[in-house]
Amino acid sequence: MWFPAWPLQRWLQAQPQVENRPVLMFRRLGRRGSVVVACSEALAERGVRCEMPLAEARALATRGQQSRETILIREHDPLADRQALERLAEWCHQFSPTVALADEGTDAIWLDITGVGHLAGGEQKLVAAVAQQCAAQGWRVQLAASDSFAAAYALARFRATVGQPLWAPPGELRALALDLPVESLQLSDEAAQTLDRLGIREVRELERLPRAGVSARLGPETMRELDRLFGQRAEALNGVRPTEHWESSLEFENSVADDAVIVEVVARLCRELAQQMEAAQLGAMCLTVSLETPPEPPWRDAVRLFRPSAEARHWIELVTLRLEQARLRAPVTKVIVAASETGRLELRQQELFASSASSAEAKRELATLVNRLVGRLGHRQVVRAALAPDPLPENSYRTTPAVREGRSAARGTAIPWRPLERPLELLPASRQSLRVTINDAGAPSAFHWRGEEYRIADSQGPERIESGWWRGAQRRRDYYRVETERGHRAWLYRRRDDGRWFLHGWFA
């Protein structure tokens, strides 16, 4: 499929209001000024050609100009052209599973229709159908089908016309290809000039020349191109993979303000999407729900999941929790449920050993629990912890959101403490100020906390802990693990800067 004047086609598609006005597209060539990339047919009739300097083209275009007709002159946007072509290539997946894009600069798409012709009642009918569908979309395309990709491109470009697709029956490729102009080969400028000088215009003339001589004079790529044209050489193509949009949406005829209806619709969309995704062995890692509420901006929320899931029941539960918190400013016109991130589902095959089957089930249940907790409490409150190499007790661990399973606490640090060396209950540092009695050795012998006296029977310390000076305000503390006469154990420290005592935790 070759798209004549693609930059212009693409631009006109995006600007329907332009209609039939003549358009000229140019690109800048640095100091050498600007040249024409594409122009409307009306201008082409007046002599405007591609690669013509812009000034000259403008002069030609305005020479025979009728009254009050304005010419739109626009700069070429190669990136937008390419992106539009990529989108079109994706759209073409409906005709063939293998779709490929030409290199940049060639506005062509290849479809491999080997073995798919029968679906449309024959290759010829398929080609006609593709042409028809493209026309219906408003694209002008020159189509050809042939035994080799190079020949198909050459025939589409130089033999087919818009609305007249060309289908080369198998075996007739050679006859058709021989009549093609040498421009249909993708030759270097140098080789093309040499051929021009030699007066060789058609492939037939080139093919008659001795191969060894052609290779020597025009470079080996000329023969390679010729072989590609005749389908005698393997060709590599840039395949376009269809991106997967996992989305399910419903548009209301009349806008809806009833919460119950919206929740029900979201649930239905979730079920639809989950079913499709499960068939593809995929699960959602992130679910996005959008409610369009014109003229207000749409309401959107994303729910992240602990593991890929395709369980509609579970999605609905999570999404409903979020919907309950939604404050909609206008009635809803459209509901979209999308899986913005996906992951492979763990296979639910029959396990040989019951234990591993139940462990997979247990993992799924755990994922459901975590998603549910995160859904209600948020990422900050549902976490996993890992040790961090920081001497300061309140900094010697870090937390990661529980949903990022695997990446989080995977890196463990060796535990530097003995089993009962740290308190299970840690109070905020420097909050619980204490009155402490000190014995002759300088160790605490009693402390008062919440109006009660705790007499210390045994104390271990001091354990000197300091924060690194490079972390800003330095904290220097002497910690004591103390046991009261009744056996209760607490963690006290003396701030070395001012000698004040604090309770930092209980060995609960």
Partner 1 sequence: MASAPSDRRQRVAQLAEQLRGWESAEAGRSQQGMSSGCSQLDALLPAGGFSPGSLVEWFATDPGAGATTLALAVARAACGDEGWLVVIDSAGTFYPPAAAALGAPLRRMIWVRRPAGNVARWATDQALRCPGVAAVLAWPETLDATTFRRWQLAVEQSRVLGLLVRPAAALKEPSWAEARLLVEPRPSADEFRRWQVELLHARGGWGGRSAHLGIHHDTGQWFTDRIAGPGGSAACALRVVPRLAPATLVASPTAG
What residues line the site for partner 1 (CB under 8 A)? 359, 361-370, 372-373, 376-377, 380-387, 393, 396-397, 399, 402, 405-412, 414-415, 417-427, 457-458, 483-490, 505-508
CA distance 140 to 6: 9
Q: Between residues 14 and 508, which has the closer beta carbon with respect to partner 1?
A: 508
Q: Which residue has the tokens 């529980």?
A: 402
Q: Between residues 100 and 456, which has the closer beta carbon with respect to partner 1?
A: 456
- Closest distance to partner 1 from the beta carbon of 402 (Å): 5
CA distance 319 to 323: 6
- Closest distance to partner 1 from the beta carbon of 489 (Å): 5
- 462 to 420, 474, 482: CA distances (angstroms): 16, 18, 10
- Closest distance to partner 1 from the beta carbon of 380 (Å): 8
Total Cβ atoms within 10 A of residue 417 = 9
- Closest distance to partner 1 from the beta carbon of 388 (Å): 9
Q: Between residues 253 and 452, which has the closer beta carbon with respect to partner 1?
A: 452
Q: Between residues 197 and 407, which has the closer beta carbon with respect to partner 1?
A: 407
Q: Which residue has the tokens 């393997």?
A: 234
Q: Between residues 204 and 422, which has the closer beta carbon with respect to partner 1?
A: 422
CA distance 393 to 485: 26
Q: Which residues contact 236 (CB under 8 A, 6 or more apart)?
A: none
CA distance 19 to 426: 73
Nearest CA to 290 among 260, 275, 269?
269
Cross-strand bridge partners of residue 443: none
Q: Which two tokens stand for residue 380?
A: 């900050």
Nearest CA to 431 among 500, 481, 479?
500
- Closest distance to partner 1 from the beta carbon of 366 (Å): 3
Question: Please, are residues 107 and 5 in contact by the beta-carbon 8 Å criterion?
Answer: no
Question: Please, are residues 41 and 48 in contact by the beta-carbon 8 Å criterion?
Answer: no
Q: Between residues 192 and 360, which has the closer beta carbon with respect to partner 1?
A: 360
- Closest distance to partner 1 from the beta carbon of 477 (Å): 16
Q: Between residues 129 and 427, which has the closer beta carbon with respect to partner 1?
A: 427
CA distance 33 to 120: 49
Q: Between residues 135 and 377, which has the closer beta carbon with respect to partner 1?
A: 377
- Closest distance to partner 1 from the beta carbon of 406 (Å): 4
Total Cβ atoms within 10 A of residue 95 = 20
Question: Please, are residues 370 and 403 in contact by the beta-carbon 8 Å criterion?
Answer: yes
Q: Between residues 68 and 418, which has the closer beta carbon with respect to partner 1?
A: 418
- Closest distance to partner 1 from the beta carbon of 473 (Å): 22
Q: Between residues 177 and 492, which has the closer beta carbon with respect to partner 1?
A: 492
Helices (H), 159-291: 173-178, 189-198, 203-208, 211-218, 220-229, 259-279
Q: Between residues 241 and 418, which has the closer beta carbon with respect to partner 1?
A: 418
CA distance 494 to 501: 4
Q: Between residues 22 and 393, which has the closer beta carbon with respect to partner 1?
A: 393
Nearest CA to 98 among 84, 85, 109?
109
CA distance 426 to 491: 9
DSSP E strands: which ranges in 390-475? Answer: 397-401, 425-426, 432-438, 444-449, 452-466
CA distance 369 to 266: 21
CA distance 188 to 199: 17
